[in-house]
């Protein structure tokens, strides 16, 4: 008798919580209808020195929904999950090896649920289990942006659903829309129940007690922009200082910095000095906890960040007003233009008040009608070959001016010959292209 095994690939606790909520909501069928395997991947630059998923508080009750847990890092050791993929003619051998290692019958059906299908390890899994159906789940704001890389037709056509949190009600995800993949929302109630269970598991964490004792009213969300090469370490340090200064100016006298779980440990004297100068009590929650766990126990009055998804979850699931700092700085430095952080950054920049410009912190409500066209215009400019049908609507939006102009710089406008580009810049680009073509022709000419 053929059985079905569902493999759920995950690299973050937030992603695991999203999958857990989808399971609880019945989006993967009834419990017992298939064997469920949680495949954990640590994608940090140096996995051996990074926080493991099973070290996060709340992991145990989340993982209890699965019948088995296996490590992708161990399975492909010594290779790195982000860089390793099978050679084309080796996929059958790898599938046979993984079926044996993970206790999957030779004839059992495989269903995959993966994150970031465009890159490894999801892409490697899809290639190895080439007969499987694929569900893609998105654990944050990136679901609203375009597919990062063009997928082979044979792979994209296997994707059945895009599971995502309804963080911005009314905004339809652009991810995988080129394959007409149906977006399916993970119910808010199911996700909140999972977050509550994660928070309850962390209630006795000794590192949480000192933070609660300070009764912070504002949470500063650190990100890992320096580790990704988006900002320098000094610029990221300055970003945190700006967050603290903004919170102090808004009247908060006790704040907590919540570093990103996968960010390298970095806490500078500059932040302590800024707190002292502003007369603010600063605590750092350097513990393996989700930001949402902090919201549950701390009940803050303000959450400040740059463009973290945790800003929107604070608003959507905990009713906490949010404010942004530094989105303009990151917009100026984010490269290449197709960087997958661009749409999340634009969404926060467009929807969340700027704390440094005296913006009043606010809740993020449903998406305005203008947001969908704006996201599609940015998506076209990021991936014009994938979404050529969006060119005209993007051109119309740019021609009308307004917010779209802020998110598409002159160089990108010129590269795509879109309205608003400067004729001189377009001419310079055409000359450069012509010179490149001439150089290529010269190198190929026989001696």
Residue 288 lies in a domain: yes
In the structure, what pLDDT confidence band is assigned to residue 226 with cuts at 50, 70 and 90?
confident
Residue 12 lies in a domain: yes
pLDDT value of residue 123? 95
Range of the domain at 327: 205-357
Strand order in the sheet with 109-114: 68-71, 35-40, 4-10, 109-114, 133-138, 159-165, 182-186
Question: Same structural domain for residues 135 and 224?
Answer: no
One domain for residues 47 and 190: yes
- Measured CA to CA, the distance from residue 51 to residue 49 in angstroms comes to 7
**One domain, residues 165 and 213:** no
Q: Is the pLDDT of residue 401 over 90?
A: no
Query: Tens digit of pLDDT for each residue in 244-290?
Result: 999 999 999 999 999 876 665 556 778 999 999 999 999 999 889 99
Whether the upstream peptide bond of residue 336 has omega within 30° of 0, thus cis, is yes
Angle 269-278/233-249 helices, nearest 10 degrees? 20
Residue 430's pLDDT is 64
Does 186 lie in the same domain as 209?
Answer: no
pTM: 0.91
pLDDT in tens, 35-51: 999 999 998 878 887 78
For the residues 175-182, what does the mean pLDDT come to? 96
For residues 425-434, average pLDDT = 63
Residue 395 is predicted with a pLDDT of: 96
DSSP letter string, 27-47: TT--TTSSEEEEEE---SSSG
Residue 397 lies inside a defined structural domain of this protein: yes
The answer as to whether 420 is a domain residue is yes
Tally of domains within the chain:
3
Residue 239 lies in a domain: yes
pLDDT of res. 43: 87
Q: 341 with 415, same domain?
A: no
Q: How confident is the model at residue 429 (pLDDT cuts 50, 70, 90)?
A: low
Query: Is 228 in the same domain as 295?
Result: yes
Q: Is the pLDDT of residue 242 over 80?
A: yes
- Token code pair at residue 250: 């808004």
Instruction: Give the domain CATH number at 191.
Output: 3.40.50
272 vs 278: CA distance, rounded Å:
10
Give tens-digit pLDDT for 66-123. Answer: 999 999 999 999 999 999 999 988 999 999 999 999 999 999 999 999 999 989 999 9
What is the per-residue pLDDT for 358?
85
Q: Which among 140, 171, 195 is the end of a domain?
A: 195
Indicate the pLDDT class of residue 370, thresholds 50, 70 and 90.
very high
**67 plus 149 within the same structural domain:** yes
Domain assignment present for 437: no
- 116 and 135 assigned to the same domain: yes
Whether 178 and 209 share a structural domain: no
Average pLDDT of the residues of the chain: 92
Q: Which residues contact 443 (CB under 8 A, 6 or more apart)?
A: none
pLDDT band at 402 (very low <50, low <70, confident <90, very high): confident
Quote the CA–CA distance of 130 and 109 in Å, as a whole number.
11
Spatial distance between the Cα atoms of 256 and 209, rounded to a whole number of angstroms: 12
Q: How much is the pLDDT for 284?
A: 92
Helix, strand, coil share (%) of the chain residues, nearest 5: 45, 15, 40
Please check the confidence at residue 427 and state whether its pLDDT lies above 70: no
What pLDDT, on the 0 to 100 scale, is given for residue 266?
A: 59
Q: Are residues 393 and 342 in the same domain?
A: no
Q: Residue 67 domain-assigned? A: yes
% residues pLDDT > 90 (the chain): 79
Question: Are 35 and 159 within one domain?
Answer: yes
């Amino acid at each position: 008798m053929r059985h079905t095994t569902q493999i759920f690939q995950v690299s973050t606790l937030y992603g695991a919580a999203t999958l857990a909520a989808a399971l609880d909501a019945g989006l993967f069928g009834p419990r017992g209808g298939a064997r469920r395997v949680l495949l954990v991947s640590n994608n940090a630059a140096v996995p051996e020195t990074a926080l493991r998923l099973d070290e996060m508080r709340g992991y145990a009750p989340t993982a209890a929904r699965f019948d088995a847990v296996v490590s992708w890092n161990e399975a492909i050791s010594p290779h790195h999950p982000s860089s390793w993929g099978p050679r084309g003619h080796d996929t059958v051998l790898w599938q046979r090896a993984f079926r044996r290692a993970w206790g999957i019958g030779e004839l059992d059906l495989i269903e995959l649920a993966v994150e970031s299908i465009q890159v490894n390890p999801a892409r490697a899994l899809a290639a190895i289990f080439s007969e499987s159906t694929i569900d893609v789940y998105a654990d944050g704001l990136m679901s609203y942006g375009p597919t990062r890389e063009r997928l082979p037709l044979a792979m994209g056509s296997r994707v059945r659903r895009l599971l995502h949190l309804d963080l911005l009600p009314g905004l339809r995800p652009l991810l995988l829309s080129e394959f007409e993949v149906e977006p399916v929302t993970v119910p808010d109630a199911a996700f909140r129940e999972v977050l509550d269970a994660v928070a309850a598991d962390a209630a006795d964490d000794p590192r949480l007690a000192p933070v609660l004792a300070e009764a912070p009213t504002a949470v500063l969300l650190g990100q890992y922009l320096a580790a990704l090469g988006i900002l320098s370490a000094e610029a990221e340090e300055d970003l945190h200082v700006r967050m603290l200064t903004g919170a102090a100016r808004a009247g908060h006298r006790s704040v907590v910095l919540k570093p990103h779980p996968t960010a390298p440990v970095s806490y500078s004297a500059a932040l302590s000095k800024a707190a002292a100068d502003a007369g603010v009590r600063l605590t750092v929650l350097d513990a393996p906890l989700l930001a949402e766990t902090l919201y549950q126990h701390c009940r803050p009055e303000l959450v400040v960040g740059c463009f973290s998804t945790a800003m929107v979850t604070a608003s959507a699931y905990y009713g906490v007003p949010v404010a942004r700092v530094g989105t303009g700085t990151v917009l100026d430095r984010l490269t290449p233009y197709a960087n997958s952080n661009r749409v999340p950054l634009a969404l926060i920049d467009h929807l969340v008040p700027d704390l440094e410009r005296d913006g009043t912190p606010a809740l993020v409500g449903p998406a305005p009608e203008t947001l969908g066209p704006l996201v599609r215009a940015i998506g076209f400019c990021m991936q014009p070959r994938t979404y050529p049908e969006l060119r005209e609507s993007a051109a119309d939006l740019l021609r009308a001016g307004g917010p779209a102009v802020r998110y598409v710089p002159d160089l990108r406008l010129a590269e795509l010959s879109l309205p608003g580009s400067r004729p001189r810049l377009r001419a310079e680009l055409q000359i450069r292209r012509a010179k490149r073509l001439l150089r290529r022709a010269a190198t190929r000419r026989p001696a």
